[in-house]
A and B are shown apart, each in its own frame.
Chain A
Amino acid sequence: MSDYENLSGNEKELQEFLMIEKQKAQVNAQIHEFNEICWEKCIGKPSTKLDHATETCLSNCVDRFIDTSLLITQRFAQMLQKQSSGGM
């Protein structure tokens, strides 16, 4: 009886652990993507440090990319709505 309880307790703990690690990995993957995109937009010739303008550009880049993603999601949903109501 205690073996069975232990089994489902272990399972639950591992499942939760895997879910958290998966989320962490997804955040990391997103950061890699942002870094790649924003490096192209903001970095000229590599020097001894990132100057203030470059840091601002990188920070803005993340926010504007997320804004773009949100805007596209919103507008796309509207487009789908219009299509479905137009077809009726």
Chain B
Amino acid sequence: MAGMTSVEKGELMEQVKQQIQVANAQELLTKMTEKCFKKCVGKPGTSLDSSEQKCISMCMDRFMDSWNLISRAYGQRLQRESKM
């Protein structure tokens, strides 16, 4: 850290932020795959049929909706707790 310029510092901070975002996205995708496979794929066949594909597509969107809703609900709860 000796002699780090403000540019280097800024780049380091950006790198850290990016890595955290990537890790977050990976976690999201891992969970989404697990949940949607569970919901949409019954007895695995030799390929994903069109109804399974449609289900997976909807499931992805609902999973994101759920994530956003939970995020809001959690934020609101944290705010309520901090006011107590």
In this assembly, does A5 line the interface, its C-beta being within 8 Å of a C-beta of chain B?
no
Which of B9, B62, B71 contacts A43, CB < 8 Å? Answer: B62
Is chain B's interface secondary structure helix, strand, loop, or mixed overall? helix
Contacts of A13 in B (CB 8 A): 9
Could you list 5 A-B pairs, sorted by A, with CB under 8 Å? A13-B9, A14-B13, A28-B27, A35-B66, A46-B59
Which of B31, B62, B74, B77 contacts A50, CB < 8 Å? Answer: B62
Is chain A's interface secondary structure helix, strand, loop, or mixed overall? helix
Contact B65 A50 (CB under 8 A): yes
In this assembly, does A45 line the interface, its C-beta being within 8 Å of a C-beta of chain B?
yes
A-B pairs with CB below 8 Å: how many?
Answer: 88
Contact A46 B73 (CB under 8 A): no
By the criterion of a CB under 8 Å from any partner CB, how many residues of chain B are at the interface?
34
**With A7-B1, A25-B24, A32-B27 already in contact, 13 other A-B pairs whose C-beta atoms are closer than 8 Å:** A3-B3, A14-B13, A21-B16, A29-B27, A31-B70, A32-B28, A35-B31, A43-B66, A46-B36, A46-B62, A49-B65, A58-B73, A66-B77
Scan residues 15-42 of chain B and give those whose CB is less than 8 A from a CB of chain A: 16-17, 20, 23-24, 27-28, 31, 35-36, 39-40
Contact A62 B35 (CB under 8 A): no
